[in-house]
Structure 1
Amino acid sequence: MDLIYKGKTKDIYSLENGNILMKFKDDVTGKDGVFDPGENQVGLSIDGAGKAGLELTEFFFEKLNKENIPTHYVRSNLDENTMEVKKAKVFGKGLEFICRYKAVGSFYKRYGKYIENGEDLDAFFEITIKDDEAGDPTINKDALEILGIMTPAQYDELKNLTREICGIIKEILKEKDLDLYDIKLEFGLDENNNILLIDEISGGNMRVYKGKEYIEPLKLNKLVLNK
């Protein structure tokens, strides 16, 4: 097992069988000691956050696999905070695919002159470039094609797939009386250039509320999994 990448919230290893091993850490993104899934830096460490993230990721990936959604998930080991996944190539140097149901976070910061905070959005879809120095800027369909990052057909497929996946997650949370405000996903391509959902699906990737109460990642884990 060889370390190939040290990330903000996960370390990535290559396995002898050709798959990848992701080890979840207790570090979460945020600023000034406050958790924020929209931030591009580690803001704090929360004891148990790694395992909580893996538990939710395992839960959601297994739900999605039953719905025949293409994912990289193979298996997980909760005792070691690790998840084995299929190898996948990211688009460009890494993108995030965001689905927004409420005008909050960076969306509201950008468009606050045109919309009220918390106003409903109809599964608004956007893509951002994973680039800390540039502040993870958004990128549109035309620019993605011009830069050779993806084709228009891939963009359309990813848009539909993001909305389908997020709709499934939103309904699961709704069953727990929880409201999904926004969520970010990642996708990659397998060796046959098929699109796969990759990375994780946890409290660190989404904003979830119960009524007007924001649900922190560790609490979300307990509410969803009835712990």
Structure 2
Amino acid sequence: MKNTIIKTDFKFPGQKSVYHGKVREVYTLENDTLLMVATDRLSAFDVVMPKGIPYKGQILNQIATKMMRDTEDLVPNWLTATPDPNVAIGEACEPFKVEMVIRGYLSGHAAREYKTGKRALCGVAMPDGMKENDKFPAPIITPATKAEMGDHDEDISREEILKRGIVSEKDYLQLEDYTRKLFQRGSEIAANRGLILVDTKYEFGKTKNGKIVLIDEIHTPDSSRYFYAEGYEERQKNNEPQKQLSKEFVRQWLIQNGFQGLEGQKLPVMSDEYIETVSERYIELYENITGQKFEKADVSDIEKRILDNVSKYFASVKS
């Protein structure tokens, strides 16, 4: 698609390195500063789709920024500034090699595992007699090991994380505490918007002075699943699919077209018309999650816009 940003190759002042993630490009600058560009890439089943989704990067960046501001009283985060709709700047830190996934409902990956007969996920028991999209008695934390681009994240238990020394017990207990607090706040924010925060994942890092901070995105439709609260109970009672606000609709489209990221499966082609509907759906997600009207940024020359805005920001910091 035209007017999308798929990959960047900026040379920012003081730049030391760049890492290309599944969706974000992370530039390490001098003075322990990170600059993160949210691209319009779309990832599903840990596979990056070949075409970008218009405005997706802006949407993710702006939701994450708002949610970090709305939770910074609970959990410290890495964010310092967002000088451009697609750019976040903050403190560099060492990421933990686990993603903290928390689930309030039996949905998505957990539901798919449950249907195969499994009654435990990441060493955490799931009650018998549940059906898809039922609420768990209490939210469960089901961590995943972080994968490099193109590789699958893998479920892992708390016990295995500690046994393998991936995270120290002291730090892991802090990660769990932060995860539960963030999910509780996120659920409250969602409820105020007429939504249910079904499940989500958080990523954390440690600064040079040893402080654990929230990094990456938070409560976005890429990292979270939302249901509309209105009609939830009735749909469950009637065994009907829930009305969702997440990129699950993309996963379902891929599944219907014979793709789940498994070996030997061919990635289906997304037409420009379908991509346009995905973009419109992301805008709907933004407006429902934030309660604000989405304002489209100028996409006539996204790279130039980013460079100009970042340059102005650094000039203002120096002056």
**Shift of residue 192, structure 1, vs aligned partner:** 2.1
**78, 97, 100: which one pairs with 1:97?**
100
Query: Which residue of structure 1 aligns with residue 200 of structure 2?
Result: 183
**Shift of residue 176, structure 1, vs aligned partner:** 0.5
| Percent of residue pairs identical | 22
CA contact (8 A) 1:141 1:152 kept: no
Structure 1 runs, 4 residues or longer, greater than 6 Å off: none
**117, 135, 144: which one pairs with 1:120?**
135
| Structure 1 Cα separation of the partners of residues 46 and 35 of structure 2 | 23
CA contact (8 A) 2:74 2:182 kept: no
Q: Which structure 2 residue ranges, 5 or more long, are not aligned? A: 1-11, 118-127, 231-241, 247-281, 294-319
CA contact (8 A) 2:41 2:53 kept: yes
How is 1:42-191 mapped onto 2 (pairs within 5 angstroms)? Answer: 42-43=48-49, 45-65=52-72, 67-79=73-85, 81-91=86-96, 94-112=97-115, 113=117, 114=128, 115-121=130-136, 122-131=138-147, 135-191=152-208
Query: Which residue of structure 2 aligns with residue 36 of structure 1?
Result: none
Compared with structure 1, are the counterparts of its residues 180 and 68 closer, same or farther at alpha carbon in structure 2 (3 Å cutoff)?
closer
| Structure 2 Cα separation of the partners of residues 225 and 85 of structure 1 | 26
Matched letter for residue 120 of structure 1 = K
**Shift of residue 134, structure 1, vs aligned partner:** 6.4
Normalised to the residue count of structure 1, the TM-score between the two structures is 0.88
Q: Which structure 1 residue ranges, 5 or more long, are not aligned? A: 31-38
**Shift of residue 78, structure 1, vs aligned partner:** 3.2
- Residues paired across the two proteins, number: 215
Compared with structure 1, are the counterparts of its residues 134 and 200 closer, same or farther at alpha carbon in structure 2 (3 Å cutoff)?
closer
**Structure number having the greater strand percentage:** 1
**Shift of residue 77, structure 1, vs aligned partner:** 2.1
Cα-to-partner distance string for 1:165-212 (whole Å, 9 max, x where unaligned): 111111111101011111011011111222111111222111111143
Normalised to the residue count of structure 2, the TM-score between the two structures is 0.64
> Secondary structure of 1:27's partner?
coil
**Shift of residue 109, structure 1, vs aligned partner:** 1.4
1:215 aligns with 2:221: no
Residues 144-153 or 176-185, more deviating: 144-153
Rg: which structure is higher?
2
| Structure 2 Cα separation of the partners of residues 225 and 175 of structure 1 | 9
1:28 aligns with 2:42: yes
